[in-house]
């Protein structure tokens, strides 16, 4: 007998939870740099096109499947198809992706917690730029400290998911997502006053034809997937807690719009600081944990600015981590009838164990031959596996399932339920059925080295 499923208490609560899951660390350190490096304004246009015509339609599709089945990622496909079909592998792919992402996400988020404490202790005082940069090198090579902060962050995430949907995820998403939006706006307004603001806007939005490559379209699509949390099982899970009266197309457009705005604000918050001191732009952990602390130290009120920024960083990581943990937990509850307490405890324990190699990879304290063998650390290998292969594969299979495996009449009923957007159903179905699979296949072929899109246009 299937237990009564908990639902979101309010539409606002779901929007903030979904937006929080989508606004992840990639929004802070990946979107701005990738945009500037791929032609600025031209890339922005492609990113908007990909988000509007591929990302958001798939976002809608995941939510529809979740609400229709009222189950976790694997249970959705068992309910809507059958136990005998292979479609449930899509659910398992999403669960595995969420699990692997969370295993190294806690490491990065733990670094953020560490830097939040460092900022409160004014760690840049009386230190040269080289010494400030070296703090991260020391942290990355200190497996014990990295593990400690990863554990603390996972414990925070555990505490929220343990409390359930309304009293845990929805309640705390309202607090943390609202807080990160407020902090982001404050830091953006501060960045407007810096000398490098104009150059940052130019870097992000000017049409730089010399940097643009045709393959940037595929880069934009991949970034859209990343920033919307597609293919991770998160939206399938969150959709399963929606009520029949909730307007899914409308909600998806709101969340998609929020993610786009936050991505732009993140770029216009970070790069003015970089250009004010005439440094070359970069992305990743080097930007957040090396470059920015050095630059914050040169600004008035450096302790406050640094502390507020790393609070933003932690809040951003936290709302995403909660969603990732819930995707795995919900699956175990549905499939095996476990209590939430048992599922959260077991998943959190295993996530921490699997995260140990990522936490220790910076210092080479485990798998010492991994780097020379793979050319990447264990941490980087898992990140690449998920972002380059698992997420696009999940998105491809989802688009094929939604577009071709489910009867059109069933989809139309699910799409129209609680929505005033019935008129665009067939447009949405065309995008999911045709445009999304073709675009994702091109990404996989490009990433696999089977084609080079640039060579088709540039001789």
User: What does the angle CA 444 – CA 210 – CA 263 come to, to the nearest 5 degrees?
Assistant: 60
- CA-based R_g, the chain, Å: 22
Length, in residues, of the chain:
459
> How many C-beta neighbours within 10 Å does residue 409 have?
8
* Three-class SS state of 194: coil
Widest CA span of the chain, in angstroms? 68
Query: According to the model, what pLDDT value does residue 1 have?
Result: 44
Q: Does domain 11-457 have CATH number 3.40.50?
A: no
Query: According to the model, what pLDDT value does residue 387 have?
Result: 87
Name the nearest CA neighbour of 22 among 312, 323, 399: 323
Cα–chain center distance at 108 = 13
Alpha-helix runs per DSSP H in 167-301: 171-192, 197-205, 216-228, 234-239, 248-276, 284-286, 292-296
CA–CA separation, 265 vs 185, rounded Å? 8
Name the nearest CA neighbour of 448 among 380, 393, 371, 374: 393
One pLDDT digit (tens) per residue for the chain, 459 residues = 456 688 999 999 999 999 999 888 878 878 877 887 787 888 888 899 999 999 999 999 999 999 999 999 999 999 998 766 789 999 999 999 999 999 999 999 999 999 999 999 999 998 999 999 999 999 999 999 999 999 999 999 999 999 999 999 999 999 999 999 999 999 999 999 999 999 989 888 888 777 778 888 888 888 888 788 888 999 999 999 999 999 999 999 999 999 999 988 988 998 899 889 988 777 678 888 998 999 999 999 999 999 999 999 999 999 999 999 999 999 999 999 999 999 999 999 999 999 999 999 988 888 888 999 999 999 999 998 998 899 999 999 999 999 999 999 999 999 999 999 999 999 999 999 999 999 999 989 988 888 888 777 665
Contacts of 388 (CB under 8 A, 6+ apart): 447
> How many C-beta neighbours within 10 Å does residue 406 have?
18
| All structural domains of the chain with their residue ranges | 11-457
> How many C-beta neighbours within 10 Å does residue 71 have?
25
CA–CA separation, 383 vs 100, rounded Å? 8
Q: What is the H or E stretch that residue 106 is in?
A: helix 88-120
Contacts of 79 (CB under 8 A, 6+ apart): 69, 70, 71
> For residue 207, what are the β-bridge partners?
40
- DSSP classification of residue 211: G
């Amino acid at each position: 007998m299937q237990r009564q499923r908990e639902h979101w208490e309010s539409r606002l609560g779901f929007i903030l939870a979904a937006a929080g899951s989508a606004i992840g660390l990639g929004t802070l350190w990946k979107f701005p740099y990738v945009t500037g490096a791929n032609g600025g304004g031209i890339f922005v246009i492609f990113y908007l096109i990909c988000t509007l015509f591929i990302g958001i339609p798939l976002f809608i599709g995941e939510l529809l499947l979740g609400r229709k089945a009222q189950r976790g990622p694997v249970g959705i496909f068992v309910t809507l198809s059958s136990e005998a079909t292979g479609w449930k592998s899509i659910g398992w792919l999403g669960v595995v992706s969420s699990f692997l992402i969370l295993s190294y996400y806690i490491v990065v988020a733990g670094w953020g917690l560490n830097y939040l404490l460092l900022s409160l202790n004014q760690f840049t005082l009386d230190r040269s730029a080289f010494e400030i940069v070296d703090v991260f090198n020391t942290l990355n090579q200190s497996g014990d400290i990295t593990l400690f902060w990863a554990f603390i962050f996972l414990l925070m995430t555990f505490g929220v998911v343990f409390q359930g949907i309304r009293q845990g995820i929805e309640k705390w998403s309202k607090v943390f997502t609202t807080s990160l939006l407020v902090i982001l706006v404050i830091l953006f307004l501060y960045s407007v006053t810096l000398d490098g603001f104009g150059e940052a806007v130019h870097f992000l939005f000017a049409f730089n034809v010399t940097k643009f490559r045709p393959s940037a379209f595929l880069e934009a699509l991949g970034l859209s997937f990343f920033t919307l949390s597609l293919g991770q099982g998160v939206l399938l899970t969150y959709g399963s807690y929606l009520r029949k009266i909730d307007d899914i197309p409308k909600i998806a457009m709101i969340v998609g719009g929020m993610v786009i705005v936050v991505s732009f604000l993140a770029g216009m918050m970070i790069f003015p600081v970089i250009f004010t001191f005439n440094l070359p732009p970069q992305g990743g952990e080097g930007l957040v944990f090396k470059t920015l602390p050095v630059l914050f130290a040169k600004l008035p009120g450096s302790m406050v600015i640094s502390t507020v920024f790393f609070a933003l960083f932690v809040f951003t990581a936290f709302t995403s981590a909660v969603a990732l943990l819930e995707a795995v937990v919900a699956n175990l509850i549905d499939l095996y009838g476990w209590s939430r307490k048992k599922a959260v405890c077991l998943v959190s324990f295993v996530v921490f164990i699997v995260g140990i190699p990522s936490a220790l990879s910076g210092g080479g304290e485990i798998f010492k031959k991994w780097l020379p063998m793979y050319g990447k650390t264990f941490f980087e290998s898992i990140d690449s596996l998920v972002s380059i292969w698992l997420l696009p594969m999940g998105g491809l299979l989802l688009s094929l399932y939604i577009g071709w495996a489910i009867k059109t009449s069933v989809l139309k009923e699910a799409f129209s339920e609680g929505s005033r957007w019935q008129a665009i159903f067939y447009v949405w179905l065309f995008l999911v059925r045709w445009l999304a699979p073709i675009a994702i296949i091109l990404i996989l072929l490009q990433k696999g080295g089977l084609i080079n899109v640039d060579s088709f246009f540039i001789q």
